[in-house]
Copies of this chain bind each other. A is one copy, B any other.
Amino acid sequence: MKRRLLLVSNSTLHGGGYLEHCQQQIKDFFGHGVKRVLFIPYALHNRDAYAKTARDKFKTLGYEVDSIHEASDPVKAVREAQGIFIGGGNTFRLLKSLYDNSLVSEIKKRVLQDGVPYMGSSAGTNVSTVSIHTTNDMPIVYPPSFAALGLVPFNINPHYLDPDPHSRHMGETREQRITQFHEEPDTPPVLGLREGSLLLVEGNRATLLGTCKARLFTRGNPTTEYETGSDLSFLLTDRQ
């Protein structure tokens, strides 16, 4: 399998600029083979402003950006893309727009069959997985399905957050929410990617990168912590 994915938890780390904390990994990932990256800004309302942000940043890394919202034919834009980057924002809005523009199967085909490198950040990471069932976002629009691109056979929870022992807030913790997901039948593992973490997938190898540990939730089992640098390739094996 030619699959190459760079799945980033968050686009901005506290105190840093847009994609600053992972810019070296982005350059390593797209390398010299890719000259132009197709940006998908559907997760935010102001697509022009979002495209400018992405374009300005990628320019400093040596890449030109084409934003799909400026293309007359979005499907054709995906068919011709050398590399794809889906940015963060609202996951429901993003997935609905991907369906509305008939891009779900097209992106999947390009990435899994043609080996086009795919980078996602936050919501863009959510939609690369089995489903958006483990997003943190508010369901501001109703997508035709929660099934997502399925580029990997598990789910991710970006911006994973440990419980704050000093909080007096009584809303569910992130752990409680993911545990609720696993109360449902036939639910895949969920990798909790803390801010600063990213997952690199190359074919059938997955490696945890970034500055902190990640937490894995598997239905019916205790959670497990993985250090940065860990080989998480076992997550790419389809479940029986």
> Taking beta carbons and an 8 Å cutoff, which residues of A are in contact with B?
10, 12-15, 45, 89-90, 92-93, 132-142, 145-146, 159, 161, 168-172, 177-178, 180-181, 183-184, 187, 195
Contacts and interface: CB of A to CB of B under 8 A. Distances in A.
A31 to B, nearest CB: 27
B136 A140 contact: no
Given A138-B181, A146-B139, A180-B90, A13 B170 contact: yes
Contact of A139 (B93, B135, B170, B183): B135
Given A45-B183, A93-B180, 19 more contacts: A14-B168, A14-B169, A14-B170, A15-B168, A92-B139, A132-B139, A133-B140, A134-B138, A134-B140, A137-B172, A138-B180, A139-B139, A139-B146, A140-B183, A140-B184, A142-B146, A159-B171, A161-B171, A170-B195
Contacts of A14: 168-170
- Copy tally for this chain in the complex stands at 2
Contacts of A142: 133, 145-146
Nearest to A146: B142
A197 to B, nearest CB: 13
10 contacts: A10-B170, A14-B169, A132-B139, A133-B141, A134-B138, A136-B138, A140-B184, A142-B145, A159-B170, A169-B195
Given A14-B170, A168-B14, A180 B146 contact: no
A41 to B, nearest CB: 14
A161 B170 contact: no
